[in-house]
Structure 1
Amino acid sequence: MPTIKEPSFLEKVNQYPKTTYIYHTKIEEQLAMHSHNKHQLTYIEGGAAYLKTNDNSYFLPARHYIWIPAGMEHFIELKSSITMIRNIYIPTHILNSNDFYSKMGIFPASNLVLEMILFTENWSGNIFKKEKNKFQYIKTLGNIIAEISKNPLPVVLPTTTNQRLSPILKYIHIHVDQLLLLQDVAKQFGFSSRSLSRIFRDNLDISFLQYVKLTRIIHSMEKLLQTEMSISEIAYASGYNSPATFSNTFYNLVKVRPVDFRKKNREISE
């Protein structure tokens, strides 16, 4: 008698196009770049992660959730041990018409959204329309999110498959705590300053300096959430020569001060 092969995780998500699908796990499926036919809502407890798409890398801090539109290729990379990954997959046809659903974003989780996500913690697998209460609950969650999620996290790092640029980006991440000048990095990799500047613009659509600044801020966000380092220590470890410069740059990008970012995310994730 032939062995019946167990459907893969992605096959289960896509198996019934009209169902919602719930998947809570302490271990993230080690998936390569992939997509599925349903929208994805993901909330990660107790750790740091990145969402990788073909074009960008998105840092996911505590107390934030990811919205991934149906059909978008992506994978989630965990940067530390986590407590729980909560995934809710929602078929596109059950939601109200809203431009929100077509765009990827990372948003702060309000008390309402967080409580609604946690309410599903004992649900698992497909939820069919005949399970009226559960099905309507997920539909309502999807519609509420579109109405209240207005300000996505603005810190996004572009990515590239350009073989000349990839090792330079890696170098920037490794040496983020050091002085990174265009002319020095260009010389290190055998480019002129003008050539390297053009490669950044052509492949990432941002300047060398903008990329370094974003890398420093994301590095600092990880330190704020995962260490007990002081704000001054994090500033220097992220390549800034003064805590004031770091705080001002952080505020300009994230719209809160580093100390408030740490306090807010830690208070409501404990």
Structure 2
Amino acid sequence: MHTVAVLALDRVIPFDLSAPIDAFNWARLPDGRSPYRVRVCSPAGQAGEVGAGPFTVRAPYGLEALAEADTIILPGTEDPTLPLPPGVAEALREAAANGTRIASVCVGAFVFAATGLLNGHRATTHWIAAGDLAAMYPEVEVDPNVLYVDNGQFLTSAGAAAAMDMCLHMIRLDYGSAVAAHTARMSVMPLEREGGQAQFIVHPQPPTPAGTTMEPLLRWMEENAERDLTLDDIAAHAGTSSRTLNRRFREQTGTTPLQWLHLARVRRAQHLLENTDNPVERIAHQAGFGSPTAFRDRFKRVVGISPQAYRRAFRTRRRPRPEARMAGA
């Protein structure tokens, strides 16, 4: 039987802790047997409790469970920048040296990176924490656009639900697609989700300091994003040369006028996909893209999935009007 040790540090995020426990416990072999033994452990072990948001957890096992595990799961904590408790990094490094598979959930990647085991490896975490992870651990190659990364022995997953994607992936590696598909059905999850976490990232326009000379121009660009604007058009409206505009724009926004405009168009397209029934071809025109093909290419490059897939995932569900409900009653 494959033993999975889930490490609960103080202030562990409850979902990060429970998602892998549920995923591995749902798995069943064709004869109905459970292929996994799941153990929750903590530095305190049976001697103490760890906080988990609105409740506390008393783990049945201590760090010795890490040495006996085939797979170790590292959930995130409320403050992932805190130093690791004594003995944790050493226990994880020893387990890794013995060939144990180690996987992190969400900001559990900070726990993982603190051991040094991710140095030189590609990894991911929740997109909102990816910049901090890259800054704290520059030897880790952080990819904020994927749901999970599998380096063989070491795996990392993005936020929350991506833990389920990663666990299903590991179950499929261990026992095949049929067992993983059964686990996915029991978890009410697709075996594979379309796209990566790029589709969930909020893409705000680069901040512009209040009172800068760019503010009126940015408003004009947003209001006219559907037009076929060129750099010369934008420079003419700003009353300056293209070269000067590029320089000032980058100084004040950190990007170029055309890059800013492309992102504004993608944001407009996202809004239309979420809130209208307009076909993709019409949205391409409304958002300012030259053609549906150019729209699809740019949208997928920024968001990570196609416009149609984005609409399926994020479409606002409108409730029928009361009179419509009565008419159909």
Per the shorter chain, which TM-score range? 0.3 to 0.5
The higher relative CO (CA closer than 8 Å, separation ≥ 6) is in 1
Kindly indicate which of the two structures has a greater share of residues assigned to strand. Answer: 1
- Structure with bigger gyration radius: 2
Kindly indicate which of the two structures has a greater share of residues assigned to helix. Answer: 2
Normalised to the residue count of structure 1, the TM-score between the two structures is: 0.46
Normalised to the residue count of structure 2, the TM-score between the two structures is: 0.38
